[in-house]
Amino acid sequence: MKNILEITQALLASLGSLLKRKPRDVSAVSEPDTTPRAQPKRKVDRFTVISWVVTILIAVALLGATILYKNSQQTSYVLVAQPTSAAGKPSTTAQPQGGAPVISVDGNGVSSITRKLQLKTNIPERPRYESIAYRVSRGDAMLSIADTYKINIDSILFTNPDLGDNPHSLKPGMELTIPPVDGIYYKWKDGDTFESVADKFGAKADEIINFAGNKIDLTNPKVEVGTTVMVPGGTRELKNWAAELPTEGRAANTGTGGNNASNVCGGGPVANGFGWPAGSHNISGYGYMPSHLGLDIQANEGEPIYAAGAGIVTMAQSGWNYGYGNVVQIDHGNGYVTVYAHLSVINVGLCTSVGQGTLIGAAGSTGNAFGAHLHFEVRIGGSNVNPYSIVQ
């Protein structure tokens, strides 16, 4: 383009030299007087101006034509289909490697595998080595708190003695200590070793030493007496609150273990199956686990509660009852006893015979309960079993 501009300017200059008016020759005889006078103003060479304007216009036109030409050439990127091998035969055609550029069919460009843009940066979760203080709000449940911090409920119970090993002791305004990992805190005593502490809580000595939150010198591992350390994976036996409420059987020979000898109820109907005791099948708080030997079934205040199977009522008692609140027990005559706790209303009396589906009370929040629901237990031989294995 530079050469074109130079040639154009040369042509215009040659043309200008030809068109310029030549000065006339004046003889010395007729030469006018050389009297000094004012010099006339120099006139602008109009041809020079016109030549520059034309040059600029040509340059702009050439530049615009170049841009239009480039834009009109659309580059198409076409992925070349690679032949696949027949079933059971290896392919002899070289396959493109992931991330390698692929030449398009027309050769105008290169296509490559692109990555989807992400506006949010994914930051990997870092391990936590210190405990966190959490204040319980209304509507919280131990299960939701444990899920938020990816900690087992039992670990929260181990770390917070105010709960008394009972998840139902959770109350709004209570401040919990959330451990960094599943395990148990332990205050080091004189004579303790890593092996003895690990054996006491069913853990591993190496995990105590290597846990960064314990700040143990790996070159000379030792713990000062009185120092609290985390025992990762450590556990202990939780208090069985279900044992506080004795299992009441109808008589000594019904097959119900732990029956009360003072119970005056005689024989009655025998269950041949068990149904669900509430209208909802949803679990509102806690399922069956070592720290919670029953199911918390969703039930609003005043909703009906039904007998899970035929039997005779061996307990219909209001009050605190070790945190169970208003509670009903039914002996089903086949070794099984079912327990219905936190009731707002009791509709049956001691030694009442019931059938499967009989209305026995209404859901509530009496006793050690955080919101209305039905706490439902199944016991056999005086020991709790998972209701899901019995009730349909």
Question: Residue 203: its pLDDT value, please?
Answer: 95
Architecture of domain 132-232: Roll (3.10)
Report percent pLDDT > 70 for the chain.
Answer: 71
Residue with more model confidence, 186 or 41? 186
Q: What is the CATH code for 241-389? A: 2.70.70.10
Residue 58 to residues 8, 68, 235, Cα–Cα distance (Å): 9, 15, 89
Mind listing the pLDDT tens digit for each residue in 46-65?
777 788 888 888 888 888 88
Q: In the chain, list all ranges with CATH 2.70.70.10.
A: 241-389
Q: Quick one: average pLDDT of 211-232?
A: 94
Residue with more model confidence, 301 or 48? 301
Q: In the chain, list all ranges with CATH 3.10.350.10.
A: 132-232
Q: Which of 98-107, 152-161, 213-222 is predicted with the least confidence, judged by mean pLDDT?
A: 98-107
> Can you count the helices (H) and strands (E) in the chain?
6, 16
Closest to 159 in 3D by CA, of 195, 190, 129, 132: 132
Question: Residue 227: its pLDDT value, please?
Answer: 95
Query: Is pLDDT at 245 greater than 70 in this prediction?
Result: yes
Query: Is pLDDT at 197 greater than 90 in this prediction?
Result: yes
Residue 89 to residues 80, 85, 92, 94, 170, Cα–Cα distance (Å): 22, 6, 9, 14, 65
Q: Quick one: average pLDDT of 268-293?
A: 85
d(CA 151, CA 128): 12
Mind listing the pLDDT tens digit for each residue in 7-57?
666 766 665 665 555 555 544 445 555 555 555 555 657 777 788 888 888
- Count the Cβ atoms, other than its own, within 10 Å of residue 168: 24
Q: Is 29 exposed, middle or buried (0-12, 13-18, 19+ CB in 10 A)?
A: exposed
As a whole number, the mean pLDDT across the chain is 80
Q: Which of 35-49, 139-153, 195-209, 259-273 is predicted with the least confidence, judged by mean pLDDT?
A: 35-49
The gap between the terminal CA atoms of the chain, to the nearest Å, is 90
Q: Quick one: average pLDDT of 99-126?
A: 56
d(CA 281, CA 252): 34
Mind listing the pLDDT tens digit for each residue in 65-82?
888 887 776 555 555 555
Q: Is 72 exposed, middle or buried (0-12, 13-18, 19+ CB in 10 A)?
A: exposed
Q: Quick one: average pLDDT of 353-371?
A: 91
Q: Quick one: average pLDDT of 295-302?
A: 91
Mind listing the pLDDT tens digit for each residue in 161-170?
988 888 778 8
Question: Residue 122: its pLDDT value, please?
Answer: 61
